[in-house]
Structure formats: structure tokens, C-alpha cells
Structure 1
Amino acid sequence: MKEKTALITGATSGIGKSTAELFAKSGIKLILCGRRKDRLEQLQKKLSPFTRIHTLNFDIRKKEDVFKAIESLPNDFSDIDILINNAGNAHGLEPIQDGNTDDWDAMLDINVKGLLYISKSIFPKMVEKGAGHIINIGSTAGKEVYPNGNVYCASKHAVDALNQAMRIDLNKHGIRVGAVNPGMVETEFSTVRFKGDTERADNVYKGFQPLKPEDIAEIIHFVVTRPYHVNIADLVVMSTAQASSTIVNKTI
């Protein structure tokens, strides 16, 4: 059986890192992408005993850097079977009339345009060979809108639409496309959203048991290891305590 190669964006923390760890232990060859070179090097060192790894250090918001990075892949890493579009973030939690336009730019540039850039760079070879699997990491914020979520929710609604569009347009090429849409996962997400205010970030997850990055990694691994004729097109997952973006039972 051919050794699978997976490219994971946002691989240096949270869901991306946990997915890389699980994939490595499953013998999947990895291309790990991220902005933080030191973390990429640490992760490569940690996972190298399990599988072959290549790292790409670039900012997914910069179109030229994305295409240059993919073009730089050595031959034995250039045939990508699985693309995990995981890189994404949230900035700020204000009513739309008080929103910071720099925050808006960051969310749209990373969550939407960055996803498009990396996908565009991977499409040609998948189309050429008539096979591949793309997993877009969305959010419950792409299924509903909550107070003060405005532009973040808009960016994740765009991911939801792009997931559907990719699945339709790439169908004739035999490429599987699906999304995993998590609810509240305890990662660096809230620390980034609140710009380093760790106390405020920690409060988000107090009083209940949120999802862990490992939970989502296990789901992603399940999705990509289904038989070829099975495509899990759109999956929403929340912790037992969470019913919606605004309803969380903090007595569990």
C-alpha cells in the first residue's frame, strides 16, 4: 500500500498539532506548516521517530509565500494525498460597530484567503491524479451567528460555503472533500482572540468540560481513514455541555 502524505496547516498548536501527532503514530508522512519556526522544529524532532517529516515555515496570509513554499517541496513530499486546512483564528469579541478593522483583516486573510491560497496550490496535482482528500476545519460559528461574533462567524460561514463548493467542483475528479466543525475546544484560540489576556481566555472554559484538541484529531483521523467510497462531507461536534454557541451547561 502506498505511503500516504498529509499536509497540515497551523500545525504548531491545538488541533493541528494533535492531528500531526496522531497521523505520525499512524505512519502517515507529514508536511507541517506554520509561522513559528521554533515550534515546527520542536514538533519535527518529536515526531521524526514515527514517520518522515518535512516542515514549511510561512505565513498563510501571504499568497506568494504560500505558492513558493509548496513549489519548494522535494519530490518525495510533493504528492499530497491529504490536505488538512486547519490554520485559522479569531480576533476580538466586540459588537460589529465597535470592531477593529485590523482584526477583521486578520480573520478574513487567514480563515478565508489563506485557506484558498493553500488549497489552490494543492489542487493541480490532486486533479491530475484524480484522487485526494481535503478536510476543512470549520466551526459551529459557521453554522450559526452569536452576539459579537460577527466577522469571525462570517469567515467561518465562508469556510462552510467553500467546503460545499470544493466538494461540488472537485467531484468529477474523484477528490473527497469534507469539513469538521468543532464547538468550544480548549486551545490557544481564546488567548489569541483576547490578545494575550490569559485570565479572560481561561474563563471561557471554566465550569464545564470542553473538547480537547485530541478529540478533534481522533475525528479527523477517523474521517481520512474511511474506505475511498466513503466521504464524511460535513460533521459538527460539540462537548456534551454545549448545546449552541451561547448555551453551555456549566453544571456538568
Structure 2
Amino acid sequence: MSRGIAVVTGASSGIGAATARHLAAEGFDVVAAARRTDRLEELAAAQPNIRAVPLDVTSAESVAELAEQVGDDVAVLVNNAGGALGVETVEDADPADWQRMFDTNVLGVLRVTQALLPALERGTGGHVVVTGSIAGHLVYEGGGGYTAAKHGAAALVETLRLELNGRPVRVTEIAPGMVHTEEFSLVRLRGDQQAADQVYEGVEHPLTADDVADCIAFAVTRPAHVDIDLMIVKPLAQAAPHKVDRHR
């Protein structure tokens, strides 16, 4: 028996793709949504209860089309689309990079949550999950734009939980630390593969996308009266963004 529909944004790679697979394995009918439809189709072809839907979270029209496609009863929304761009200081940062990060990490969450909230509230209620970051709770040099955006997403989550109190919708933030995925650092460092590899150099067992997806699946499969507000998860080697044990 299906657990209901779970929508995962940013599902074409990394944590999003892993989350789609994990939720499908838990019995959800998963709508995997992202811009890169070729990757979504590959994901859907590998697992029968995953459906691919194109989505650009920065476009109100695209989000409205997603809402129409998923229907009026959604059990879980995982707002995973986001990412980082650049490691410049506040002094040297390009405002356009900050704007792109805010548009995906904060406004993207707002657009999709607003569009799907009526469907999430139907029946026995639903669950809104946001893939945040420890960068939403701490700051570090060279991370001003990303930490500001993720702090914004964390504030959105906390506010939403207050505003939905008394209504049957749970709200959770999963905040990972260092996760080694194929694209996060590569995109942040503008395609510099050597620099991206150095982010994880010497770190024994950074988190994987599956580790984070497992946390998301755990949170959404708790009994309906149990709301995990915030789960911060880091690899054992990482004590803080600036404190990582590296074996060289």
C-alpha cells in the first residue's frame, strides 16, 4: 500500500536523487522534480514508483505546473533544490551570485511550499522538509552568500512551523555538514575539479547523499504526531565548518 505522494525538488542528482530513491523504497509514490529532465528520466526508469516532472523553482509558472501535475493530495514535500556559488569574501562577492543563491535556497522553498501547501494539508496532513545546511546555523569565512541564504531558509522553516501550529502539517529541517556529492563543490567552485577535490582531501568518510537521504526518510516515516524540528548531521571527522580532521 502506498504511503502517498512525495515530491522531491532538485532530484536530478546528489541528495535529491538519493532521497527520491529512499522514499520510493519506503513505499511513497515519488514525484522527482528538477530542471534536468534527462537525469530525472533515468532515475524514474530505474524505479517503478518514481515519476519525473520538470521543475525550475525560480519560475512561478514552472512551480504552478508542478502543483497541477501532482494533484490535490500530497503526503511529503522535500524542498531540496538549492546550492552554493562562489567562495569570495563579503568584500569581493558578486551580488548576482548572492541573488541566485537566495532565489533557489530561499525563494524556491517559498514558491514550492506555497503552491503545495493546500495539497499537503488534505486528509491526514502532510510533511514539509527542507534540506538546509549547518551553514544555516553557523558562519565561516568565504561563505557569506551561502550562509546568509541557508540562514534565511532556516528562518523560513521555523516561521512556517509556528504559523502552521494547530494544522496537520509537520515541518522539518535536515541540516547536513560535509557531504561528498558529484556536483556541490564543483558548481560552487565554478567547474574547477581540482579545487573541488581538495574540499574533501584527507577527510575519512565524509557524508554521502545516501546518508542524508536516510535521515530524511527517517524523519518523514515517524508517526504523524512526531515532528522532528531540526536534524543536524555531520561526518565524524567534522566538528564545525572550520574544524575538520584531515589525514594527509
TM-score normalized with structure 2 length: 0.95
Deviating 4+ runs (over 4 angstroms): none
How many residue pairs get aligned? The number is: 246
Verify: 1:184 aligned to 2:178, yes or no: yes
Superimposed CA distance per residue, residues 145-201 of structure 1 (whole angstroms, 9 cap, x where no aligned partner): 100111110100011111111111112112111111000100111001011111110
Verify: 1:147 aligned to 2:138, yes or no: no
Supply the distance in 2 between the matched residues of 1:33 and 1:226 (Cα, whole angstroms). Answer: 24
Match for residue 218 of structure 1 among 214, 217, 226: 214
State percent identity of aligned pairs.
40
The one-letter code of the counterpart of 2:114 is K
Supply the distance in 2 between the matched residues of 1:117 and 1:65 (Cα, whole angstroms). Answer: 10
* Counterpart contact for 1:210–1:241, Cα < 8 Å: yes
Match for residue 54 of structure 2 among 57, 74, 94: 57
Supply the distance in 1 between the matched residues of 2:77 and 2:90 (Cα, whole angstroms). Answer: 33
* SS class of match (1:83): strand
* Other-structure match for 2:75: 81
The one-letter code of the counterpart of 2:23 is F
Query: How much is the aligned-residue C-alpha RMSD, in angstroms?
Result: 1.4
Verify: 1:233 aligned to 2:229, yes or no: yes
* SS class of match (1:72): helix
* SS class of match (2:77): strand
* Other-structure match for 1:70: 67
What runs of 5+ residues in structure 2 fail to find an aligned partner?
none
Supply the distance in 2 between the matched residues of 1:139 and 1:80 (Cα, whole angstroms). Answer: 25
The one-letter code of the counterpart of 1:218 is D
Match for residue 135 of structure 1 among 110, 119, 129: 129
* SS class of match (2:161): helix
Superimposed CA distance per residue, residues 186-236 of structure 1 (whole angstroms, 9 cap, x where no aligned partner): 011100101111111011011012111111111111111111111111111
* Counterpart contact for 1:135–1:177, Cα < 8 Å: yes
* Counterpart contact for 2:219–2:228, Cα < 8 Å: yes
Supply the distance in 1 between the matched residues of 2:167 and 2:2 (Cα, whole angstroms). Answer: 20
